[in-house]
Amino acid sequence: MENSILQKVKDTEKLFEGYEIIGNELARVTALREKLEQQHMTVSVIGQFKRGKSALVNGILGRDILPVGIVPVTAVVTTVDYGDEEAAVHFANGKVEKVAFEEISAFVNEQENRDNHLNVTKVAIKCRSEFLKRNLTFVDTPGVGSLHEKNSEEAYAFVKESDAVIFTLSVDSPINQIEIDFLKNAREHAAKFYFAVNKIDVILPEDLKAYLDYCEKFIAEIMEVDKVMLFPVSAKTGQGIEELKEAVLTELSADTGNILRESAGLKLQDIVRSALAEVTLYRKALSMTGAEFDEKFAEIKEFFKKIHQETESLPPALKDNGEVAKLHANDVKNRLTAKVKELFGIDYHYDIELTSIEPGEDITEAVDKICQSLEDTLNSIFMYREENTYVVSKRIYKLNELVRRLVKMLSLIHI
């Protein structure tokens, strides 16, 4: 069965390679294929804000690595892998900055990096915790439902990357609609769930039993299963942490293949649906009149000029700095991606990990090449000013064939 879903992922990747308009989906399916080939698991701790997720992560790792506090703390995703101790902050422009563990708070703490104004994409940590030895990545996510909307967006986005989830509740608050909605969303992407009921140190045993009985029945209904396993824990005192760790590691070790297969099936469905949605937007864009196209292309060309002028006005010391030039080029790519989405309603994928700046190359010329490449691609995608009827008809046929194959592919993905 594992080979079956892996083959479907490979087939999807091959199909996507011929279409510029689904570049984001191609990147996602490539990552999914690599995960399956490496048998690598992603286990995420998710839930509403102030349920003690970061403290629970620390407890499971046996290390006080992540900052905790009495107000919503986590602003960005933090990944933890096995290895020699190090921490690296990843920024949206491709920059990666190594920091000391005690400096992590400045990037993940909502009070210090409010609304993620530093544009951090993630903080990647390595440490030698026994929990991480089973070829897994452990993830702390921002809490949903706080006043900080970006935190919720980050949490929802990362659910799609998760294979197994430790969903965190706490005894000081009943399950609410935010958690119900989040849980329903999460079950569309992850294959395995563990429910940690935190803060049991603040409740009487008889009250805890009543809470657990209520949660067990209610969560089973939400998940549409007969039974769920609850793990009463206290991240503060450590009570119940070992039982949770043992249950997670035992099951993941014994059933890695099936969990990854089911998780990959869910993710592949989402990727194909996303590709269909992207094609639908593309079709809508194709329905624009010639005047609308002229207006939008004129606007993006003005945007190219603005970027050129900004780059040209950079101080010489910055232009001659290779690392700064790379980061500036990546920033331009991010801005162009957002502009294409704004004007045409489609995603245009850039791999910002790769620099387009060659040693000694002029940064302005490099940025102009990035803009020209985008303009050429848009002309090709939208058949802009294409007067050859045969070419137009062939491209439309190819697009319709893609839709048919995507719909068929969805019907063949069995979980």
Predicted local distance difference test score (pLDDT) of residue 47: 85
- Kindly report, residue by residue over 181-220, the tens digit of the pLDDT: 888 888 888 999 999 999 999 999 889 999 899 889 999 9
Give the Cα-Cα-Cα angle 31, 35, 40 (nearest 5 degrees).
Answer: 145
- Quote the mean pLDDT of the chain: 84
Q: What is the 3-state secondary structure (H, E, C) of the chain?
A: CHHHHHHHHHHHHHHHCCCHHHHHHHHHHHHHHHHHHHCCEEEEEEEECCCCHHHHHHHHHCCCCCCCCCCCCECCCEEEEECCCEEEEEECCCCEEEECHHHCHHHHECCCCHHHCCCEEEEEEEECCHHHCCCEEEEECCCECCCCHHHHHHHHHHHCCCCEEEEEEECCCCCCHHHHHHHHHHCCCCCEEEEEEECHHHCCHHHHHHHHHHHHHHHHHHHCCCCCCEEECCCCCCCCHHHHHHHHHHHHHHCHHHHHHHHHHHHHHHHHHHHHHHHHHHHHHHCCCHHHHHHHHHHHHHHHHHHHHHHHCCCHHHHCCHHHHHHHHHHHHHHHHHHHHHHHCCCCCCCCCCCCCCCCCCHHHHHHHHHHHHHHHHHHHCCCCCCCHHHHHHHHHHHHHHHHHHHHHHHHCCC
Higher per-residue confidence, 385 vs 127: 127
* Average pLDDT of the residues in 388-401: 64
Return the minimum-mean-pLDDT range out of 22-31, 174-183, 185-194, 348-357: 348-357
What is the pLDDT confidence band of residue 111, given thresholds at 50, 70 and 90? confident
* Average pLDDT of the residues in 70-80: 73
Answer yes or no: is pLDDT of 352 > 70.
Answer: no
Answer yes or no: is pLDDT of 325 > 80.
Answer: yes
What is the pLDDT confidence band of residue 22, given thresholds at 50, 70 and 90? confident
* Average pLDDT of the residues in 12-41: 90
- Kindly report, residue by residue over 244-276, the tens digit of the pLDDT: 999 999 988 888 889 999 999 999 999 998 888
Predicted local distance difference test score (pLDDT) of residue 390: 55
- Kindly report, residue by residue over 132-188, the tens digit of the pLDDT: 988 899 999 887 765 455 656 666 777 888 999 999 999 988 788 888 888 888 888
Answer yes or no: is pLDDT of 79 > 90.
Answer: yes
Predicted local distance difference test score (pLDDT) of residue 132: 93
Contact 36, 9 (CB under 8 A): yes
Answer yes or no: is pLDDT of 1 > 50.
Answer: no
The torsion region of residue 137 among left (phi > 0), alpha (psi -120 to 50) and beta comes to beta
Higher per-residue confidence, 126 vs 341: 126
Answer yes or no: is pLDDT of 2 > 50.
Answer: no
Contact 248, 129 (CB under 8 A): no
Higher per-residue confidence, 349 vs 192: 192
Predicted local distance difference test score (pLDDT) of residue 340: 86
Answer yes or no: is pLDDT of 344 > 70.
Answer: yes
